[in-house]
Each structure stands twice: as C-alpha cells, then as structure tokens.
Amino acid sequence: MARGSGTKLIADNRRARHEYHLLEKVEAGIALTGTEVKSLRAGHATLQRAFGDVRGGELWLVGAHIPEYAQGGMQNHDPDRDRKLLLHRREIDGLAGKVAERGLTLVPTRLYFKDGRVKVELALARGKEARDKRRDVAARDAKREMERAVKSRGRDVD
C-alpha cells in the first residue's frame, strides 16, 4: 500500500537563519512514538531551542518540543524528551568530526513529513556575531525599499 507522496511542512526554524550561518544541510529520520506522530500530524512542534548532539556514536535531537497528543491518555509521551536521529554511520561520524571543530553546531531548520515519514533537516552552522545580524537586517531592509520604489515607479508609468 502506497504512503502519501510529497512533503508537508510541520515546523520551520526561521530563527536559525537569523542566528547562524548555515553551511551544510542533511536530512535525517527521527525515532518517534505513536502519540508524537499524531501530535505532529496535527501540526504541533517547536524547534526554536533545539539542537543536534552526538553522544556515544549516535545523533540526538535535544530541546525539540512536541506537545502531548490530546487523545493520548496514559500512553502519552514526554513533550521535551531527547529523540534519536537516524543517519548512516559514516554520516554521523562526518558530522561529529565537523562539530568537534571550534564554533560549529547542528541546528534543526525544518521538521516535515516526506512520503509519510517524519524527517528533520539539520544544518551544520556557525553562530553569527551581532554585527553580522545587523548587516543582514540592513540588507533586507534596503532590498525591501528598492522593491517598493520599483513597484511605485511601475504605477507612475501607466
């Protein structure tokens, strides 16, 4: 029997793009309980404070919040538990080596369904300094102003 095709976004960590320089992205599976999947199907999850951690040769998602499923009853899960991420050994070893470098961390950028399975997009990231954040905001504002000017000029020509 075929699973649902395509992807459906559950949560997007927009703050990660503001706080970090995203260098490299990797897709990982995630080990979940039944009530966690049902809660995700309802579209509930928070990735803002989450990060990836390599422990004992395994990759873990720490700090992600998946609220309890309303109809879960006694089988409900702990909303803030650490969840195991599923990658091939060589991928985990490669990421662990890069994270060991100074200043790099694993940040989840998206949580989504892909062909009926929950996936996490992790980014290898380096933290931005305050001046980098200000520069990004200034560039975004300048771009927005230029688009407004071009749009208003287009109306004047008609």
Exposure on the CB side of residue 112, measured as CA atoms within 13 A: 15
Tell me: pLDDT of 1 over 50. no
pLDDT tens for residues 24-35?
A: 899 999 998 888
Structure tokens at 40: 């995700």
* pLDDT band, residue 157 (cuts 50/70/90): low
Assess whether pLDDT exceeds 80 at residue 61: yes
| DSSP per position, 76-144 | PPPTT--EEEE--HHHHHHHHHHHHSTTEEEEEEEEEEETTEEEEEEEEEEEPPHHHHHHHHHHHHHHH
Task: Tell me the CA distances in angstroms from 155 to 144, 151, 158, one per residue in order.
Answer: 17, 7, 6
- Over range 125-148, report the average pLDDT: 83
Higher pLDDT, 135 or 107: 107
pLDDT at 156: 61
Confidence of residue 39 (pLDDT cuts 50, 70, 90): confident
Compute the mean pLDDT over every residue in the chain, rounded to the nearest whole number.
Answer: 85
Average pLDDT over residues 141-147: 88
Does residue 60 carry a pLDDT above 90?
A: yes
- For residue 126, the model assigns a pLDDT of 84
Give the residue-averaged pLDDT of 44-55.
Answer: 88
Task: Using alpha carbons only, give the angle 115, 119, 120 rounded to the nearest 5 degrees.
Answer: 155
pLDDT digits (tens, 9 = 90+) for 67-100: 888 777 777 877 888 999 999 999 998 888 888 8
